[in-house]
Amino acid sequence: MDVDYISTRDIDAIPAKFTDILLGGLAPDGGLYLPVEYPQLDAKTLESWRELVSGDDEAGYGKLAAEVLKLFVDDIPAEDLDAIAARAYTHPKFSSKEIVPVTDLGDSLLIGHLSEGPTAAFKDMAMQLLGELFEYELGRREATLNILGATSGDTGSSAEYAMRGRHGIRVFMLTPAGRMTAFQQAQMFGLDDPNIFNIALDGVFDDCQDVVKAVSSDAQFKADHRIGAVNSINWARLMAQIVYYINCWLKVTDSADQKVSFSVPTGNFGDICAGHIARQMGLPIDRLIVATNENNVLDEFFRTGNYRPRPAAETMATSSPSMDISRASNFERFAFDLLDRDAEKIADLFGTKVKEGGFVLEEDVMDKAREVFGFVSSTSAHADRLATIKDVHEKYDYVVDPHTADGVKAAQEAQAEHTIETPIIVLETALPVKFAETIEEAIGQAPETPERFAHIMDADRFVTDLPNDVGAVKDFITSSIKTTEV
């Protein structure tokens, strides 16, 4: 079967191939790429994959990833996809041989460990694969790529650790000045690699994301400077994330008729959008819980149908900072499916209405989101995170980071309200060491520091401060490209 991709705003539905959208990121019309149709998973296929991740084979997760990739990619040979996935998911690069183990806490509550990678954040799951894909395709084309991204905390370090030292690649990563934890800043700004450029922007994450979109929307600049994306606007990120939903389901079920639910801390809607796609593919997922913090634009939408992105001034700095986002880029992909893939309507809603303050969807559409697509939502405040971290530590002898605490709180809330009867897998966001101050506030002691991060705070810092200005960022990119070889 041919695998083609279209933009969420492409009324003419001109198809593209995977390797073209891999290097391009955002579509020329400002939309996001999705497959023309989602491949389907039947019970026989799922059962054939179960043995890949159930045994002691350290290569099992990579083999599963390769099988999923083959469903979405038809312009890279299958044997090359096998090798790419095998290189991306290895031990000890990931500290667990399983890559993504699952822990049963009890009370039908489980943790899907997505933080075993080199930067202790779930973003490593997609970024390590993206690094391999980029280097492979650039090598085939004898080309270079300048990656422009924005991070609220974890995407940046995951991207930089995945891309550092790779031939033909530079990374320009925008961060909101002063908005990340000391550990997150140390991970990024401590890298002294000639192809890595850290930029601290005078603004919040949404400002950083807006600059990335503005630069990417300048077709001439993008072409002249070979600009690509690693943020979750890049389809390959979501494709990689679909794998761990399948992995977790395989690990906790015995047969294809068993369903599980997932609770997903999210701000940019990428992580949970991958779950939505996995569900649309036929993975037996009962419910998808959107867990937000005080920046609860997504929770407001799923409760009321009102999508009201907030300006930077109204985006709060919280103790789960990677979710301090008020304009969720990947939400457009979900809305495209929700509105029966009406590209003209999506172009109006996200190209016009969002810029005017947002939009409201009808109640029958919201019923579809909840009942057909299985979404529920929740929001948490700082006090909730502290209470949840403390409760999980005392009840289960386990420490979760603040974002994962948002997910646990949402899951427990759904259980208490009897909204969900199936086991709930909470997708872990990061290791607690990245948020030591909040952990200490919650349980009275600092979290354990894994040996591989013992000296991370000691390194020098390499970062450039820039104003919240698209022109200034463009000038920095241009001058940096001229003065560095990759």
Query: What dihedral do alpha carbons 465, 268, 335, 227 form, nearest 10°?
Result: 40
| Secondary structure of the chain in HEC code, one letter for each residue | CCCCEEECCCCCCCCECHHHHHHHCCCCCCCCEEECCCCCCCHHHHHHHHHHHHCCCCCHHHHHHHHHHHHHCCCCCHHHHHHHHHHHCCCCCCCCCCCCCEEEEECCEEEECCCCCCCCECHHHHHHHHHHHHHHHHHHHCCCEEEEEECCCCHHHHHHHHHCCCCCEEEEEEEECCCCCHHHHHHHHCCCCCCEEEEEECCCHHHHHHHHHHHHHCHHHHHHCCEECCCCCCHHHHHHHHHHHHHHHHHHCCCCCCCEEEEEECCCCHHHHHHHHHHHHCCCEEEEEEEECCCCHHHHHHHHCEECCCCHHHCCCCCCHHHCCCCCCCHHHHHHHHCCCCHHHHHHHHHHHHHHCCEECCHHHHHHHHHHCCEEEEECCHHHHHHHHHHHHHHHCCCCCHHHHHHHHHHHHHHHCCCCCCCEEEECCECHHHHHHHHHHHHCCCCCCCHHHCCHHHCCCCCEEECCCHHHHHHHHHHHHHHCCC
Strand duo 102-106 + 109-112: pairing: antiparallel
Which among 296, 358, 350 has a CA at the least distance from the CA of 323?
296
Please identify every residue annotated as catalytic: 123
- Residues 281/41, Cβ–Cβ less than 8 Å: yes
Distance CA 163, CA 153 (A): 17
Distance CA 144, CA 146 (A): 7
